[in-house]
Amino acid sequence: MKFLITGGAGFMGSNFIRYLLDNYPEAEIVNFDKLTYAGNLENLKDVKDNSRYEFVRGDIADAKAVAEVMERGIEVVINFAAETHVDRSILGPRDFIMTDVLGTYTLLEAARNKEIKRYVQISTDEVFGSVEEGEFSEQSPFEPNSPYSASKAGGDHMVRAYWKTYGLPTIVTHSCNFYGPYQYPEKLIPLFITNLLEGKKVPVYGNGQNVREWIFVSDYCRALDTILDRGEDGEVYNIGTAYRKTNLELTQLVLELMGLNEDSIEYVPDRPGHDQRYAVNSEKLRQLGWAPELDFEQGLKETVDWYKENESWWKRLKSGEYLKYYRKQYGSA
Ligand code: NAD
Ligand code: TYD
């Protein structure tokens, strides 16, 4: 099976490429990635010489480049490529619209023209907005609150339209928050771990009572594999673990794992439009035979250990452009 994985130089895309190469001796992969600030080929340096792996630099919103890459006998497209960070989308939504909406449309159009076997859209639970109690189901209405989630929702709607209108065999997945090795140190967990390793404080937004649901890399890869294997065309699948924590609870766990205390917390002004709570009902996926294997704290410990052992990976990312962005937002770093 020949896969086009877009955004494969990012956090979860690179982990999933490694998972496919390790678990499927027949899998061939073309990784198509623009290499934005979030794309990093170092994430895949262990597989770069694998004869079943090829990297092509390109933008999913560039119709010509996408049509060209599709000529390589692609059978399945998995679209991980996206602008992904909510705070960046608040500072400037344009790139999000260009990639997450226009890019998704461009890929769908190319996939339709090549009559591929399947198109899988990697999306987020954030399209459903915020749920004060209970859980999002696959039928929950889209109520996105940030430019990021609004852009992802736009892309997801387009995927639905290509299934309904043109019969393109599509699947949409809505996952809870990812965490684990190779996550760019702008997202909560790697930002906090690396700040603490640098002897800095961790910036908790507002009162820290916002709730997120978390999935570790290995559980996510198995979930997506299950959906690829047993999911049906035209269907939507939520991916969730029910590991739900307030940001403050999570911060306390990270501090404990690192032998630090609450003196390292700095409360900073809240994110505008900050969603209060995400909680995902993943019963439909569990019916396909998947369940998380790693408990949350075990995953967090593995994550802390990875960042401790891979300082050179994240040190470079935390300099330059990232610091400028961070200072603009909070005035300090
Ligand atoms: P990431 O930000 O680590 O990586 C994104 C990758 O996409 C980078 O390699 C980047 O270079 C590439 N990219 C960006 N724009 C592109 C374009 N126009 N053309 C080609 N490549 C482009 O992302 P991640 O956190 O691994 O998320 C992957 C996917 O999963 C995204 O679609 C995201 O919306 C979704 N998702 C993320 C989370 C999360 O917690 N991070 C949760 C649920 C769903
Ligand atoms: P984030 O990792 O940006 O993911 P998302 O907003 O897509 O869920 O943030 C996770 C939670 O952590 C969210 O409630 C915002 C909060 N947060 C902080 O409190 N401080 C920070 O520095 C960051 C980046 C996030």
- Render pLDDT for 284-323 as a digit per residue (tens, 0 to 9): 999 999 999 999 999 999 999 999 999 999 999 987 655 5
Could you give the CA distance from residue 302 to residue 178 in angstroms, rounded to a whole number?
14
DSSP code of residue 102: I
Adjacent-strand bridge partners of 266 = 203
Quick one: CA dihedral 100, 44, 38, 178, positive or negative? positive
Could you give the CA distance from residue 172 to residue 139 in angstroms, rounded to a whole number?
12
For ligand 1, which residues put their CB under 6 angstroms from it? 6-7, 9-13, 33-36, 38-39, 59-61, 80-84, 99, 103, 122, 124, 152, 175, 177-178, 184
pTM of the model: 0.96
Residue pair 34/60 in contact by the 8 Å Cβ criterion: yes
CA atoms within 13 A on the CB side of 3: 26
Q: Which atom of ligand 2 is nearest to the CA of 148?
A: 7
The protein residue whose alpha carbon is closest to atom 4 in ligand 2 is 187
The protein residue whose alpha carbon is closest to atom 17 in ligand 2 is 188
Could you give the CA distance from residue 210 to residue 248 in angstroms, rounded to a whole number?
8
Q: What pLDDT, on the 0 to 100 scale, is given for residue 319? A: 79
Could you give the CA distance from residue 143 to residue 24 in angstroms, rounded to a whole number?
37
User: The domain 2-183+214-243+276-294 belongs to what CATH superfamily?
Assistant: NAD(P)-binding Rossmann-like Domain (3.40.50.720)
126 in catalytic set: yes
Residue type at 297 in one-letter notation:
E
DSSP conformation letters of 286-307: HTTT----S-HHHHHHHHHHHH
Q: What pLDDT, on the 0 to 100 scale, is given for residue 333? A: 40
Q: Please pick, among 59, 83, 100, 126, the residue that the annotation labels catalytic.
A: 126
Residue pair 110/66 in contact by the 8 Å Cβ criterion: yes
275 in catalytic set: no
User: How distant, in Å, are the alpha carbons of 230, 232, 261, 289, 323 from that of 284?
Assistant: 11, 11, 40, 9, 41
Residue pair 123/150 in contact by the 8 Å Cβ criterion: no
Quick one: CA dihedral 61, 63, 68, 70, positive or negative? positive
The protein residue whose alpha carbon is closest to atom 14 in ligand 2 is 210
115 in catalytic set: no
The tens digit of pLDDT for each residue in 138-193 reads 999 999 999 999 999 999 999 999 999 999 999 999 999 999 999 999 999 999 99
Q: What pLDDT, on the 0 to 100 scale, is given for residue 323? A: 54
Q: Which atom of ligand 2 is nearest to the CA of 278?
A: 8
Could you give the CA distance from residue 209 to residue 297 in angstroms, rounded to a whole number?
19
Instruction: Provide the token pair at 90.
Output: 């608040």
Could you give the CA distance from residue 41 to residue 34 in angstroms, rounded to a whole number?
11
Phi first, then psi: what are they for 289, rounded to 5°? 105, 10
Helix 296-309 vs helix 247-257: angle between axes, to the nearest 10 degrees? 50
Residue numbers in the chain where pLDDT is lower than 50: 330, 332-333
Ligand 2 pocket test: which of 187, 194, 274 has the largest number of ligand atoms within 8 Å of its C-beta? Answer: 187
Could you give the CA distance from residue 276 to residue 34 in angstroms, rounded to a whole number?
32
Q: Residue 263 Cα, ligand 1 centroid: separation in angstroms?
A: 33
